[in-house]
Amino acid sequence: MLVPIWIAPWELACCQPEAQLNEAWEALALVLGDPEPWWASGAREALTPIQLNLGVVEVEYDHVGSIGGKDLLRIAGLLTVVSEAPVGAQQGTVRGRLRLEAHDEELQLPALKCRGNVRRIQRVPLIYTETKPRHWYPCWQLDPVEVASTVERAERDELLIELEVTPGA
Please give the sequence-ordered ranges of beta strands (E in DSSP) within the chain, or none if there are none: 2-7, 24-27, 30-33, 56-67, 70-75, 79-83, 91-100, 114-124, 126-132, 135-141, 145-146, 158-164
User: Mind listing the pLDDT tens digit of every residue in the chain (169 residues)?
Assistant: 899 999 988 888 877 889 999 999 998 888 999 998 888 766 667 788 888 899 999 999 999 988 888 889 999 878 888 898 888 889 999 999 999 988 777 776 777 888 999 999 999 999 888 888 988 888 888 999 999 999 999 888 999 999 999 765 4
Distance CA 126, CA 156 (A): 7
Q: Which positions ≥6 away from 164 have C-beta within 8 Å?
A: 1, 2, 3, 116, 117, 118, 119
Name the nearest CA neighbour of 87 among 78, 98, 96, 77: 96
Distance CA 158, CA 8 (A): 5
pTM: 0.89
- In angstroms, the Cα distances linking 16 to 9, 44, 88, 100, 111 are 10, 30, 32, 9, 17
What's residue 113's pLDDT? Answer: 84
